[in-house]
Amino acid sequence: MESVDGLPLDTILEGDCLEILPQLPSNAVDMVFADPPYNLQLQHALYRPNFTRVDAVDDHWDRFESLTAYDTFTRAWLSECRRVLKDTGTLWVIGTYHNIYRVGALLQELGFWILNDLVWIKTNPTPNFHGTRFTNAHETLIWAQKTKGAKYTFNYQAMKALNEDLQMRSDWYLPTCIGNERIRINGEKAHSTQKPEALLYRVVLASTQPGDIILDPFFGSGTTGAVAKKLHRHYLGIERDPRYVQIARARIQAITPAPLPAVEWVETRRRPRIPFGALLEAGLLQPGQPLYFRGGSPEAIILANGHLRCGELTGSIHTVARALLNNAPCNGWDLWYYRDETGNLYPLNNLRLRLSSAYFRPKNTD
Amino acid sequence: MESVDGLPLDTILEGDCLEILPQLPSNAVDMVFADPPYNLQLQHALYRPNFTRVDAVDDHWDRFESLTAYDTFTRAWLSECRRVLKDTGTLWVIGTYHNIYRVGALLQELGFWILNDLVWIKTNPTPNFHGTRFTNAHETLIWAQKTKGAKYTFNYQAMKALNEDLQMRSDWYLPTCIGNERIRINGEKAHSTQKPEALLYRVVLASTQPGDIILDPFFGSGTTGAVAKKLHRHYLGIERDPRYVQIARARIQAITPAPLPAVEWVETRRRPRIPFGALLEAGLLQPGQPLYFRGGSPEAIILANGHLRCGELTGSIHTVARALLNNAPCNGWDLWYYRDETGNLYPLNNLRLRLSSAYFRPKNTD
DNA sequence: GTACGGAGTGAATCCGCCA
DNA sequence: GTGGCGGATTCACTCCGTA
């Protein structure tokens, strides 16, 4: 196991984060991503209108006896995380209205300085079955730096490239973790609140550099570690449930990182002009994967921010294609081909069509 | 000026809300909408608490003092609003990450029970000019009831209708207040944070009924009053800046309310209940007639008192159905089928609909 | 193979009136 | 206040079986 200044790297420490965090050195990690218990407190069994019962979160780790108990717990892990963070470090926390106001208020009191809050808008949220409230369709992320005014990492150009060459906004549209990505054991979900990798992809790419150290004190099924490994960041997870630890270890073990240049070349050139990055976030393409111009050569490599690298050329699928065509106006979606698992070549546009319509913004925009 | 139990209605009280709120009666208003200031400097000057003098050079203490001053201010107006609210009342607060975590945490501590948080996603936000953070493209609204478990108004059907017959979600897409709606004086914005009427329209329609009383302790340019008047709700505004008071008065004066039926016919309440026995009384069903669970089996017999007998079970259409569904809450009207004279099976609800038209729209005299 | 329909499900503080 | 009981209430997506 790699280790830097007493900080173990790329591993999972099994145990309660309130016991393990105090053993970690100060000023050691670049970023913390925390997905703490939400303290949901659903009062009764919930049924859908078709009489099926909702498999709600009722895990023991999500139960607190009072608001005060939750605050005590929150203050403890937040202040330890602050100590462990480098002065230039930032903290991400995700939550819902059940807990995010507790967390947000406490982190301000501890000296964190909020840089943004972000809303993860779920394209496929659970409806409100009983018509009693608004459908809870989002979760909130707070992004804060350890100390007001310190330098911090924000990869503005990478975020812009990932977002159709427009500034990345505070509203993020992503589906919940379903389908093949959702880890299941004997058909049962392995973790009740597994986060989608697309969410962590954006978090990690926005606020860390390759080689940075990311701490996740509520590691769960290990999404943070999986994305960190893909993007050549170091991770350190803390998780107290040995079953989750085992699941996360196996998951991360199976990850093949993107080729290093695909990650390191990010930020070196200009931005693309098309939402190509969404295919990466969705996992339809991987950083480092080759693309073939007109289905043949030359070959290009996909970078982690949605740019291509082809020989000495770097840029969007359109920019590079245009250069290859002596500046003729062209559409990269039709000119670049990817190889699918069967070995056949198809134009990128196939993937764009496949990309769930869920990725695009809702239509009702009164 | 109209007035109910010492509460002036449809008017603006000029003065600081911390001075005026204590003069209002308790348990008097149905809803509060608050758009509080979050300018710490302003609050610091006006509401500085009587604490020991702190060293302004020390960043930590400076931060503590500002947060504390803001919290003191927030706790004061929130707790007064809670007193003035009816037990069945709800509170809305809008803010950004600068203040919403203070407000959210404090209102929970004061006993408010959060029902939802909502995000107003701006279709036209101000970009981040420095490229140092994500573009702030949203504001957060918290919707909370005065007391956990109390009855509250949520016009589910009205919200659903407003959203193309889909449940209204917690993400609201609305432009900022621009164009003709934006009040200008000599070309200058009359108020720096004028809220769009579309936002208040949704808030008011969701959580109040015609004739309800809405209190806005930070009235500003009077958007709350304008929408309340349009929708036949009463408003009471508090605003300390006489210029804003004047602007808001003129604005509301010019509003023409919607035609009353257009507001009253909005389906905000349940329809009167029709007991199953009424079908027997009306002769649409006969005692002894069989009913079929979900159109198949088991079969039940209608008793003369409107109960069903199904095997060893006896009870209402709901009770028996519930027992057959392992105690899942259910609606017997949709689960039991009757056979009509042609031999076809239909849910009981068909008969209820026939009856209800007869019940509520009696024929004119023959 | 493909098209289609039905079943399953997801971080959710999820009923309300009346006696 | 509380117990009893009538009855209102779901969206987007995936998976799987069948034609």
pLDDT score for B44: 42
**B63 contact A CB<8A:** yes
Residues facing residue B139 across a β-bridge: B120
Q: What's the pLDDT score for residue A354?
A: 65
User: What is the CA B107 to chain-centroid distance, rounded?
Assistant: 17
Name chain B contacts of A100, Cβ cutoff 8 Å.
101, 104
Q: Are residues B139 and B7 in the same domain?
A: yes
pLDDT for position A11:
98
Binary contact (B137, A105; C-beta < 8 A): no
Q: How confident is the model at residue A362 (pLDDT cuts 50, 70, 90)?
A: very low
Q: Does B241 touch chain A (CB under 8 A)?
A: no
User: Mean pLDDT lowest for which of A36-40, A151-155, B281-285?
Assistant: B281-285
* pLDDT digit string, tens, across residues A165-186: 789 999 999 999 998 899 999 8
A322 & A241 share domain: no
Among A53, A103, A154, beta carbon nearest to B133: A154
Q: What is the pLDDT of residues A276-320, one digit of tens each?
A: 776 776 667 888 889 999 988 889 988 877 778 898 888 888 888
Q: What is the mean pLDDT of residues A241-264?
A: 91
What is the domain extent for residue B323? 277-360
Q: What is the pLDDT of residue B93?
A: 98
Claim to verify: residue B52 and residue B101 sit in the same structural domain:
yes
CA-closest candidate to residue B141, choices B195, B92, B98, B107? B92
Substitution target in A110, A170, A203, A205 with the highest count of B β-carbons within 10 Å is A170
Angle at Cα B10 formed by Cα B5 and Cα B15, nearest 5°?
A: 90
Give contacts of A135 with chain B, Cβ < 8 Å.
Answer: 167-170
Residues A313 and A213 occupy one common structural domain? no
Say if residue A114 is in the same domain as residue A185: yes
User: How many domains does one find in chain A?
Assistant: 2
The answer, for A190 touching chain B at a CB cutoff of 8 Å, is no
Q: Is residue B269 part of a domain?
A: no
| pLDDT for residue B195 | 94
Determine whether the interchain pair B169/A109 forms a contact, defined as Cβ–Cβ distance below 8 Å. Answer: no
The total of other beta-carbon atoms located within 10 Å of residue A51's CB is 15
For residue A334, what pLDDT is reported?
87
* Rg value, chain A, Cα: 21
- Which of B97, B127, B168 shows the shortest C-beta gap to A135? B168
Angle of CA points B337, B338, B341, to nearest 5°? 145
Lowest mean pLDDT among A109-123, A239-253, B52-66: B52-66
A-B Cβ pairs (cutoff 8 Å, strict): 144
Full pLDDT tens readout for chain B, 366 residues:
677 778 999 999 999 999 999 999 999 999 999 999 986 544 444 444 433 333 333 344 445 568 899 999 999 999 999 999 999 999 999 999 999 999 999 999 999 999 999 999 998 898 888 889 999 999 999 999 999 999 999 999 888 878 878 899 999 988 888 888 899 998 889 898 899 998 999 999 999 999 999 999 999 999 999 999 998 999 999 999 999 999 999 999 999 888 776 777 666 545 567 778 778 777 788 888 999 998 888 899 888 878 889 988 888 898 899 888 888 878 888 889 999 888 888 889 888 877 765 554 333 332
Give the pLDDT band (50/70/90) at residue A273: very low
Contact yes or no for A266/A162 (Cβ under 8 A): no
Does residue B365 fall inside a structural domain? Answer: no
Identify any residues that bridge with B347 across adjacent strands, giving them in sequence order.
B337
Alpha-carbon span B341 to A148, nearest angstrom: 78
Residue A289 touches partner B, C-beta closer than 8 Å = no
**CA-to-CA dists, residue A245 to A13, A14, A17, A231, A251, angstroms:** 8, 7, 13, 21, 10
Q: Is residue A365 part of a domain?
A: no
State whether A120 and A245 are in the same domain.
yes
Q: What is the mean pLDDT of residues A147-153?
A: 95
Residues 12 to 31 of A: which have CB under 8 A from any B CB? none
Closest C-alpha to A351, from A258, A299, A293, A281: A281
Question: What's residue A271's pLDDT?
Answer: 31
Tell me the Ramachandran region of residue B141: left when phi exceeds 0, alpha when psi lies from -120 to 50, beta otherwise: beta
Positive/negative CA dihedral, A194, A197, A198, A199:
positive
Query: Using CA of residue B161, residue B165, residue B171, residue B176, what is the dihedral sign?
Result: negative
Q: What is the pLDDT of residue B45?
A: 44
Residue A228 placed within a domain = yes
Looking up residue A82, the CATH number of its domain turns out to be 3.40.50.150
- Identify all chain B residues contacting A169, using CB atoms and an 8 Å cutoff: 125, 134-137
Choose one of A223, A256, A289: the last residue of a domain: A256
Helices (H), chain B: 17-20, 40-47, 59-84, 100-109, 156-162, 197-207, 223-230, 242-253, 260-264, 277-281, 317-324, 332-335, 348-360
> Do B119 and A117 lie within an 8 Å CB cutoff?
no
Cα B278 to chain centroid, rounded: 35
- In three-state form (DSSP H/G/I as H, E/B as E, the rest C), the secondary structure along A174-226 is ECCCCHHHCCEECCEECCCCCCCHHHHHHHHHHHCCCCCEEEECCCCCCHHHH
Compute the distance between CA of residue A211 and CA of residue A207 in angstroms, rounded to an integer: 12
Q: How many Cβ atoms sit within 10 Å of the Cβ of residue B251? A: 17
Q: Is residue B366 part of a domain?
A: no
The number of angstroms, rounded, from the C-alpha of A84 to the middle of its chain's C-alpha atoms is 21
Do A239 and A288 share a domain, yes or no? no
Kindly give the residue spans of alpha helices, DSSP state H, lying in chain A.
17-20, 67-84, 100-109, 156-162, 197-207, 223-230, 242-253, 260-264, 277-281, 317-324, 332-335, 348-354
Instruction: Sort out which chain B residues have CB atoms less than 8 A from A137's CB and list them.
Output: 169-171
Q: Do A51 and B325 touch (CB under 8 A)?
A: yes
Contact predicate B259/B325, CB 8 Å: no
**Would you state the structure tokens that stand for residue A238, as one six-digit string?**
């803390």
- For B224, the token pair is 């709350």
Task: Give the DSSP per-residue string, B171-212.
Answer: EEEE--S-GGGS-EETTEESSTTPPPHHHHHHHHHHH--TT-
Q: Which residues pair with A93 in a beta bridge?
A: A34, A142
* Residues of A in Cβ contact (< 8 Å) with B156: 131-132
Query: How would you classify the pairing of strands A171-174 and A138-145?
Result: unpaired
**Angle between the B100-109 and B59-84 helix axes, to the nearest 10 degrees?**
50
| Residue A148 within a domain | yes
Last residue of a domain, one of B229, B264, B299: B264
Inspect the interface and report whether the beta carbons of B104 and A109 lie closer than 8 Å: no
Residues A342 and A196 both lie in one domain: no
Q: Identify the domain boundary among A232, A256, A280.
A: A256
Which residue approaches D13 most closely, CA to C1'? A124
Q: Which residue is nearest to nucleotide D12 (CA to C1')?
A: A124
Which of B59, B78, B97, B326 is best to mutate for the A interface (most A CBs within 10 A)? B97
Q: Find the range with the poorest average confidence among A123-132, A252-261, B350-359.
A: B350-359
What pLDDT band is residue A1 in, cutting at 50, 70 and 90? low
How do strand A336-339 and strand A345-347 relate by DSSP bridges? antiparallel
If one compares A61 and A152, the residue with the highest pLDDT of the two is A152
Q: How many angstroms separate the CA of residue B14 from the nearest CA in chain A?
A: 32
């707070």: which residue's tokens?
A: A142
Burial of B18 (0-12, 13-18, 19+ CB in 10 A): middle
Mutate to test the interface with B, among A50, A53, A92, A366 (most CBs of B within 10 A): A366
Asked if residue B294 and residue B185 are part of one domain, the reply reads no
Asked if B34 contacts B104 with a C-beta cutoff of 8 angstroms, the reply is no
| A182 and A290 inside one domain | no
Residue A136 has pLDDT above 70, yes or no: yes
Residue B270 within any structural domain of the chain = no
Which among A127, A138, A154 has CB closest to B119?
A138
d(CA B228, CA B252): 9
Q: Are residues A249 and A265 in the same domain?
A: no
Asked if A7 and A23 count as a contact pair (C-beta separation under 8 A), the reply is no
Inside any domain, residue B272: no
Tell me the two tokens of residue B247: 């602007």
Return mean pLDDT, chain A.
88
Contact B100/A105, CB-based, under 8 Å? no
> What pLDDT is stored for residue B272 in this prediction?
62
User: Does one domain contain both A251 and A271?
Assistant: no
To the nearest 10°, report the CA torsion of A173, A178, A179, A180.
100
Name the one residue in this structure whose structure tokens are 């209108």.
Answer: A49
Is 70 exceeded by the pLDDT of residue A274? Answer: no
